[in-house]
């Protein structure tokens, strides 16, 4: 057991009540480990029982001073090594060679592939595909700069902001991007500097999301646009995979949102016109597959790679069915929010 002086131990504090409405939380998930980076400790998730709220948050929550310790191993680093894929046996390999093309054909026949490609293109541009590239765009939490490169190629003047100095240097060196290092509130940007601000999977990492949104609105020009994305805790994938859903990501994800709670944060920050929507874009080799691998590995049972791929495909199909046929918008695993600053 690591000692309290171990640099891997993070100082944390209890957070028993809801950030948005003050209700006493109830346990949603208990004793979650850090399955990405192995940070010592166990983490609980609380959910607000208020039917008009439903925010989910980490309890205990790492302090602002110590949360950096959870990012010493992270996907934005050049030396990050992804979780190894399960080796396929002879029968696994044969069944997968049959399954993959048949599943791809099925997706084409029912229209899933076309819908997915359409959504993915829009997501890759943070739903700015129809916006004329006028003015300066800031990507908060830009990581290695992939989004900025895509938007720059469409004519935007782009700048990035990243708290991880290692990732920021990689974005500068490899992509030739202008990237600031640190938190938005520490940059002292002038009022009305930016035409657009994007944040892709950032708001779930911060201690005070309303304050972050307020700062975004301050540095936006009148009529400027803020677009952000974050995991959806009401998604079909979470309901199926529970504590092994990779988007939980304790202790880095401090709060997990629904459409309602994300919109409420924006309204508290001063936005007047807020749109939120979910998207059901799933990758068989991505979040669902990683979540299933973690669940089966934790159980100690040996399952065929084919069975994991088959389950992944079934979850994807059911999520798309709920979204497109049953019109269940919150079946999707990501929430997008878009708001404009008043002129």
Please determine, for residue 102, whether its predicted confidence score (pLDDT) is greater than 50: yes
Across all residues in the chain, what is the average pLDDT?
Answer: 89
pLDDT band at 146 (very low <50, low <70, confident <90, very high): very high
Q: How many CB atoms lie within 10 A of CB 249?
A: 22
* Averaged pLDDT for residues 98-102: 84
Most confident segment among 121-135, 191-205, 284-298? 191-205
| Residue 2 confidence (pLDDT) | 37
Per DSSP, 73 falls in state: S
| Residue 27 confidence (pLDDT) | 97
Per DSSP, 158 falls in state: E
Residues 71, 251: Cα–Cα separation, whole Å: 10
More confident residue, 328 or 94: 328
Contact 129, 342 (CB under 8 A): no
Structure tokens of 137? 């765009």
* Averaged pLDDT for residues 123-138: 94
Please determine, for residue 5, whether its predicted confidence score (pLDDT) is greater than 50: no
Dihedral angle computed from the Cα positions of residues 241, 247, 253 and 259, in that order, rounded to the nearest 10 degrees: -90
pLDDT band at 75 (very low <50, low <70, confident <90, very high): low
In this structure, the chain runs to a length of: 343
Q: Which residue has the tokens 């994800």?
A: 253
- What single string gives the DSSP state of each residue in 281-338? ---TTSHHHHHHHHHHHHHT----HHHHHHHHHHHHHHHHIIIIIS--GGGSSEEEEE
Q: Which residue has the tokens 């989910």?
A: 56
More confident residue, 78 or 175: 175
- Please name every residue paired with 232 in a beta bridge, in sequence order, or none if there are none: 257
What percent of the chain lies above the pLDDT cut of 90? 67
CATH architecture designation of domain 92-340: 3-Layer(aba) Sandwich (3.40)
How does pLDDT run across 217-260, given as a tens digit for each residue? 999 999 999 999 999 999 999 999 999 999 999 999 999 999 99
Q: How many CB atoms lie within 10 A of CB 134?
A: 11
Q: Which residue has the tokens 């304050």?
A: 211
More confident residue, 323 or 286: 323
Among 50-59, 143-152, 165-174, 297-306, the least confident range: 297-306
Q: Model-level pTM?
A: 0.90
| Residue 6 confidence (pLDDT) | 41
Contact 220, 226 (CB under 8 A): yes
- Please name every residue paired with 29 in a beta bridge, in sequence order, or none if there are none: 45
| Residue 99 confidence (pLDDT) | 79
| DSSP tally for the chain: helices H, then strands E | 9, 13
Please determine, for residue 309, whether its predicted confidence score (pLDDT) is greater than 50: yes
Closest CA to 338 of 204, 238, 211, 200: 200
Please determine, for residue 318, whether its predicted confidence score (pLDDT) is greater than 80: yes
| Residue 88 confidence (pLDDT) | 60
Residues 74, 66: Cα–Cα separation, whole Å: 16
Please determine, for residue 211, whether its predicted confidence score (pLDDT) is greater than 90: yes
Alpha helices, H only, 176-320? 209-219, 236-241, 259-269, 287-299, 305-320
How does pLDDT run across 266-286, given as a tens digit for each residue? 999 999 999 999 998 776 568
| Residue 283 confidence (pLDDT) | 66
| Residue 80 confidence (pLDDT) | 47
* Averaged pLDDT for residues 107-117: 88
């Amino acid at each position: 057991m690591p000692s309290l002086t171990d640099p891997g131990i993070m100082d944390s504090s209890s957070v028993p009540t809801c950030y948005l409405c003050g209700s006493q939380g109830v346990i949603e998930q208990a004793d979650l480990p850090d399955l990405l980076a192995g940070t010592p400790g166990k983490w609980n998730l609380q959910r607000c029982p208020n039917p008009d709220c439903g925010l989910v948050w980490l309890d205990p929550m790492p302090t602002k001073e110590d949360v950096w310790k959870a990012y010493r191993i992270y996907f934005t680093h050049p030396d990050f090594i992804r979780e190894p894929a399960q080796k396929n046996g002879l029968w696994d390999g044969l069944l997968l060679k049959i399954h993959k093309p048949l599943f791809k054909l099925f997706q084409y026949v029912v229209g899933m592939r076309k819908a997915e490609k359409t959504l993915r293109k829009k997501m890759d541009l943070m739903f700015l595909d129809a916006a004329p590239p006028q003015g300066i765009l800031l990507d908060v939490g830009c990581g290695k700069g992939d989004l900025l490169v895509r938007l720059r190629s469409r004519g935007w003047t782009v700048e990035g902001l990243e708290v991880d100095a290692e990732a920021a240097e990689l974005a500068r060196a490899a992509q030739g991007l202008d990237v600031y290092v640190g938190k938005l509130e520490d940059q002292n940007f002038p009022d009305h500097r930016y035409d657009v601000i994007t944040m892709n999977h950032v708001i779930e990492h911060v201690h005070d999301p309303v304050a972050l949104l307020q700062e975004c609105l301050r540095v936006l020009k009148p009529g400027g646009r803020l677009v952000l994305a974050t995991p959806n805790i009401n998604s079909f994938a979470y309901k199926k995979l529970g504590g092994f859903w990779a988007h939980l990501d304790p202790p880095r994800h401090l709060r997990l949102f629904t459409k309602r709670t994300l919109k409420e944060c924006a309204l508290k920050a001063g936005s007047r016109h807020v749109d939120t929507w979910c998207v059901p874009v799933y990758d068989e080799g991505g979040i669902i597959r990683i979540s299933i691998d973690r669940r089966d590995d934790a159980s100690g049972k040996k399952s065929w790679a084919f069975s994991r791929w088959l389950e992944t495909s079934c979850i994807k199909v059911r999520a798309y069915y709920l979204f497109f046929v049953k019109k269940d918008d919150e079946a999707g695993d990501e929430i997008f929010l878009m708001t404009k600053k008043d002129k």
